[in-house]
Amino acid sequence: MTDLLANLEPKPLWRYFLELSKIPRASKQEAAAAAWVVAQAKALGCQVEQDKVGNILIRKAASPGREGRPAVVMQAHVDMVCEKNEGTSHDFARDPIAIRRDGDVLRATGTTLGADNGIGVASALAVLADPDLKHGPLEVLITIDEETGMTGAKGLAGGWFKAGMMLNLDSEEEGELTIGCAGGIDTACTRRLSPAAPRAGTSVFRLKVSGCKGGHSGIDIGAGRANSLRLLAQALDRLMARYPLGLASVTGGNKRNAIAREASAVFFADPRDQAGIKADVARLDADWKAAFGALDPGVSIAVEAGSAEWAMSAADARAVVGLLLAGPHGVEAMSPDIKGLVQTSTNMGLVETRAGEVEVNFLTRSSIDASKYALAARIGAIAALCGFEAKDSNGYPGWKPEPGSGVVKLVQQVHTDLFGKAMEVKAIHAGLECGLIRENYGTVEMASIGPNMWDVHTPDEHVSIPSVANYWKLLRAILEKA
């Protein structure tokens, strides 16, 4: 990574990012990374506090002569989504992220990169370390566990930070100023399984869907990409109608907030049906490639040898496949007010078969709370019809846009002065912590910025090096102007 840093600018920001990338920081397992942030801030002579949840608040005094300027708080989260390609030998609990340069972007090797939101954390630390920046009072709020429930933001006490202006550093498109986001709610659907002895003389097979692009379950939900869980269910539905299969397990997806890229099912079948099963699967593979085309060109399904000792009952198998077929996934409604903005959606993100039960997880998002709860209720009703029990959790509010606020006007003016053009002001169909923070800090003005990064929450995640340089210029100029 030392050689990599030699060719990256701005060096202070990239140095912090590369160092952070050496520390495992999966959601709910980010304590070591949080401790590293605390150590960096203390080494810079800043005041540092940590609350009982694990969030970090850093304070730096104003530059001489700037003491009377308004305080600004920069906010980012220290955890990352941990996804890897099947066959990648990476342990997110121990191994550093293997970062490489690919032209003008940085990528990881076979895993998520963690630019979401490592760039935000690194840029905040780089600001604190900048000896040339002239600024008013600064605060930095680093939250934990944003990606799996926003528990850091939920546990944030009111009155902890004092700034009346907040820059969230968790956006992913240069030249866009985010001023609103969707809220969300998780629904977990579980069913107890009745094991059944497999039929005598059967063999075990594994049906595998792979190669899907996946993506962020909010930002990419309207892109028309394949969901491996839905495709797996379609395949199982077709095969179970033609062959006497004994379904043993269904597994797929990796994170509730990522579109499922890979999924598999293990089943028992008469070995004499193997040729027919493979022929049907080959036809499905060709049909899907034609259907998705350039939207998801890597979609693939195949049959291979599997391993299992028991099968589900026939009723269980029908119920599992039924929920994966009938459960919603994708865009439910578009915003009537903002062109091109998804208003309500659901991501069928995970399915897991474990001892005695199967669980299917959905993440529903909406900028309208009533729509969010209505869709979650519909998921619960569908689950009940399929013999599942549904439970909602991890609900969080959206962030209502305030286009006329002072921070929006400030960021717009600074961007125009720097780059000669205004930023595009927008709301996004994704969850930022701003909505939760607003609940306890009702008067704080908020805006979110960031550099170009793509395919976050997937092993294809990559970030633009030139865009990070522009984002850094913008962040510094905002703080100098505030």
Catalytic residues, by residue number, are: 79, 146
- Residues 222-225: contacts with CB within 8 Å, 24+ apart? 222/330, 222/331, 222/342, 222/345, 222/429, 223/295, 224/292, 224/295, 224/296, 225/259, 225/292, 225/295, 225/296
- Helical H segments across 72-140, by residue range: 115-129
Non-local CB neighbours of 16 within 8 Å, separated by 6+ positions? 40, 121, 122, 123, 125, 126, 129
Around Cβ 215, how many Cβ atoms within 10 Å?
23
The token pair at 291 is 């259907």
How would DSSP label each residue in 340-356? T-EEEEEEEEEEEEETT
Burial readout 93-116 (b: 16 or more C-beta within 10 A, e: otherwise): eeeebebeeeeebbbbeebbbbbb
Q: CA geometry: angle at 434 spanning 430 and 440, to 5°?
A: 145
Non-local CB neighbours of 409 within 8 Å, separated by 6+ positions? none
From the list 205, 364, 332, 315, the residue with the least C-alpha distance to 270 is 205
Measured over the CA atoms of residue 106, residue 109, residue 110 and residue 112, the dihedral's sign is negative
How would DSSP label each residue in 252-316? E-S-TTEE---EEEEEEE-GGGHHHHHHHHHHHHHHHHHHHGGGSTT-EEEEEE---S-EE-HHH
| Ramachandran area for residue 362 (φ above 0: left; ψ -120 to 50: alpha; else beta) | beta
Q: CA geometry: angle at 254 spanning 16 and 79, to 5°?
A: 25
Q: What gap in Å lies between CA 317 and CA 327, rounded to an integer?
A: 15
| Ramachandran area for residue 21 (φ above 0: left; ψ -120 to 50: alpha; else beta) | alpha
Single-letter amino acid, residue 89: S
Enumerate the β-bridge partners of residue 72.
138, 165
Phi/psi of residue 194, each to 5°? -105, 110
Around Cβ 49, how many Cβ atoms within 10 Å?
12
Rg (CA), the chain: 24
The token pair at 61 is 């005094």
Enumerate the β-bridge partners of residue 143.
77
